[in-house]
Amino acid sequence: MYDVVIIGGGPGGYVCAVKLAQLGKKVALVEKEHLGGTCTNWGCIPTKALLNVAHMVDEVKEKSEKYGLDVKLNGFDLSKIMAHAQKSVMMSRKGIEYLMKKNGITVYKGTGEVLNPNKVRVKETGEELEARYLVLAHGSVPVLFPPFDEVEGVWTSNDVFTMRELPKSLLIVGGGVIGVELATFFSSLGVKVTVVEIADHILPYEDDDVAEELKKALIRKGVEVLERSRVLKLEKRENYEVLVLDGNGAERTYTVERVLLAAGRKPNIPDDVRALGVEVKRGIVTDATMRTNIENVYAIGDVRGEIMLAHVAMYEGVVAAKNIAGERAKMDYSAVPYVIFTNPEVASVGLKEKDADKTKVKVSKFPLSANGRARTMLENIGFVKVIADRETDVVLGMSIVSPFATELIMEGVVAVRNKLTAHQLEESIHPHPTLSETILGALEGVHGNPIHL
Report pLDDT digits (tens) over 229-251.
Answer: 999 999 999 999 999 999 999 99
Which pTM does this prediction carry? Answer: 0.95
| pLDDT value of position 257 | 97
Examine residue 329 and state whether it is found in any structural domain, yes or no: no
User: ∠ CA(15), CA(19), CA(20), 5° rounding?
Assistant: 115
Domain identity same for 42 and 74: yes
Domain identity same for 259 and 270: no
Question: Which band of pLDDT confidence, cut at 50, 70 and 90, is reported for residue 197?
Answer: very high
| pLDDT value of position 389 | 98
Percentage of the chain beyond pLDDT 90 is: 95
| pLDDT value of position 124 | 96
Which residues participate in catalysis according to the annotation? 432
Which one, of 159, 332, 173, 148, lies nearest residue 244 by Cα? 173
Query: How far is the C-alpha of 316 from the C-alpha of 332, rounded, in Å?
Result: 9
| pLDDT value of position 449 | 87
Q: Residue 60's domain spans which residues?
A: 2-141+266-324
Identify whether the C-beta of residue 7 lies closer than 8 Å to the C-beta of residue 299: no
| pLDDT value of position 357 | 97
Domain identity same for 433 and 376: yes
Domain boundary among 324, 358, 393: 324
158 pLDDT above the threshold of 90: no
Query: How far is the C-alpha of 210 from the C-alpha of 378, rounded, in Å?
Result: 20
Domain at 306, CATH number? 3.50.50.60
Domain identity same for 74 and 119: yes
Identify whether the C-beta of residue 412 lies closer than 8 Å to the C-beta of residue 396: no
3-state secondary structure of 8: coil
| pLDDT value of position 143 | 87
Identify whether the C-beta of residue 136 lies closer than 8 Å to the C-beta of residue 284: yes
Identify whether the C-beta of residue 139 lies closer than 8 Å to the C-beta of residue 268: yes
Beta bridge partners, 217, equal none
31 pLDDT above the threshold of 90: yes
Examine residue 451 and state whether it is found in any structural domain, yes or no: no
Domain at 442, CATH number? 3.30.390.30
Question: Which band of pLDDT confidence, cut at 50, 70 and 90, is reported for residue 179?
Answer: very high
Question: Which band of pLDDT confidence, cut at 50, 70 and 90, is reported for residue 166?
Answer: very high
Query: How far is the C-alpha of 192 from the C-alpha of 257, rounded, in Å?
Result: 10
DSSP code at position 130? E
Cis amide bond preceding 344, omega within 30: yes
Examine residue 250 and state whether it is found in any structural domain, yes or no: yes
Which one, of 43, 304, 306, lies nearest residue 156 by Cα? 43
Report pLDDT digits (tens) over 80-114.
Answer: 999 999 999 999 999 999 999 999 999 999 999 99
Domain identity same for 137 and 286: yes
Identify whether the C-beta of residue 340 lies closer than 8 Å to the C-beta of residue 346: yes
Which one, of 182, 196, 189, lies nearest residue 166 by Cα? 189
| pLDDT value of position 234 | 96
Report pLDDT digits (tens) over 132-155.
Answer: 999 999 999 988 888 999 999 999
Average pLDDT of the residues of the chain? 96
Question: Within a 10 A sphere around the Cβ of 162, how many other Cβ atoms?
Answer: 10
Domain identity same for 105 and 183: no
Examine residue 39 and state whether it is found in any structural domain, yes or no: yes
Examine residue 423 and state whether it is found in any structural domain, yes or no: yes
Cis amide bond preceding 431, omega within 30: no
Query: How far is the C-alpha of 372 from the C-alpha of 387, rounded, in Å?
Result: 23
Report pLDDT digits (tens) over 43-72.
Answer: 899 999 999 999 999 999 999 999 999 998
Which one, of 144, 18, 161, lies nearest residue 87 by Cα? 161
| pLDDT value of position 36 | 95
Query: How far is the C-alpha of 238 from the C-alpha of 228, rounded, in Å?
Result: 28
| pLDDT value of position 144 | 86
384 pLDDT above the threshold of 90: yes
| pLDDT value of position 178 | 95
| pLDDT value of position 72 | 86
Torsions phi, psi for 174 (to 5 deg): 120, 120
Domain identity same for 45 and 65: yes
| pLDDT value of position 213 | 97
Domain identity same for 219 and 278: no
Examine residue 346 and state whether it is found in any structural domain, yes or no: yes
Examine residue 25 and state whether it is found in any structural domain, yes or no: yes
How many domains does one find in the chain? 3
Query: How far is the C-alpha of 179 from the C-alpha of 174, rounded, in Å?
Result: 5
Report, in angstroms and rounded to the nearest whole number, the Rg of the chain calculated over CA atoms.
23
391 pLDDT above the threshold of 90: yes
Name the strands in the sheet holding 192-196, side by side, starting at the edge strand that comes first in the sequence: 224-226, 192-196, 169-173, 258-261
Name the strands in the sheet holding 383-389, side by side, starting at the edge strand that comes first in the sequence: 338-340, 345-350, 395-402, 383-389, 361-367
Domain identity same for 102 and 28: yes
Domain identity same for 258 and 281: no
Beta bridge partners, 343, equal none
3-state secondary structure of 102: helix
| pLDDT value of position 264 | 85
Which one, of 146, 111, 138, 89, lies nearest residue 266 by Cα? 138
Domain identity same for 423 and 349: yes
**CA distance to 351, 387, 392, 440, per residue, from 354 (Å):** 8, 11, 20, 22
User: ∠ CA(362), CA(426), CA(365), 5° rounding?
Assistant: 40
**CA distance to 167, 301, 367, per residue, from 148 (Å):** 18, 27, 40
Examine residue 330 and state whether it is found in any structural domain, yes or no: no
For 346-360, what is the mean pLDDT? 97
Which one, of 331, 287, 281, lies nearest residue 309 by Cα? 331
Query: How far is the C-alpha of 390 from the C-alpha of 358, rounded, in Å?
Result: 9
CA 173 to centroid of chain Cα atoms:
17
The pairing of strands 169-173 and 258-261 is parallel
Domain boundary among 227, 242, 263: 263
Domain identity same for 294 and 342: no
Query: How far is the C-alpha of 186 from the C-alpha of 78, rounded, in Å?
Result: 11
Angle of helix 11-22 relative to helix 310-324, nearest 10 degrees, comes to: 30
Identify whether the C-beta of residue 384 lies closer than 8 Å to the C-beta of residue 439: yes
